[in-house]
Structure 1
Amino acid sequence: MVNTEALRKKIADRGIKYKNIAAMLGISPYTLQLKVDGKNEFVTSEVSGLCDILEITDLAEKEEIFFAKKVD
């Protein structure tokens, strides 16, 4: 499950618009929004692409953002 808060912060910190990220990933902005909101899951290639786009190279940061454990 994606850590939506951490992902949104990373996108904001990089200053890249959602529509540009979506275009780079080959998905619609709406689809990206659903995935960022945690309503749909990212596929492996999208996680890899987002890490490149957002310059996420640290494994711990990748795990924190894209592999967050759901807490009830």
Structure 2
Amino acid sequence: MTDKYALEDAINRSGKTKKEIAAHLELSEQGFLLKLNNKTEFKASEIDKLCKLLNLKDKKIFFAE
């Protein structure tokens, strides 16, 4: 389960919009929001892209309980 609040904080700090991030991941904005809200899971490749895009040091926010 993704830590939605930590990911949203990282997005806000990046200065990018959710729409821009969705496009970078080759997702619709709605598809990205489903993943952000834990309705569907992020793929490993999407996690890698997000970590690079948002300059996240580790992937722990994608594996919260």
TM-score range, shorter chain: over 0.9
Letter paired with 1:66? F
* Structure having the higher Rg: 1
Q: Name 2:6's counterpart in structure 1.
A: 6
TM-score by length of structure 1 reads: 0.85
Q: Name 2:33's counterpart in structure 1.
A: 33
Q: Name 1:48's counterpart in structure 2.
A: 48
- What is the rounded CA distance, in whole Å, between the counterparts of 1:46 and 1:34 in structure 2? 13
Q: Compute the displacement of 1:37 (Å).
A: 0.8
User: Number of aligned pairs?
Assistant: 65
Letter paired with 2:52? D
Q: Does 1:16 align with 2:12?
A: no
Instruction: Give the gaps of 5 or more residues in structure 2.
Output: none
Instruction: Give the gaps of 5 or more residues in structure 1.
Output: none
1:66 to 42, 56, 62: 62
Q: Compute the displacement of 1:30 (Å).
A: 0.5
TM-score by length of structure 2 reads: 0.93
**Alpha-carbon RMSD:** 0.8
* Percent identity of equivalent pairs: 40
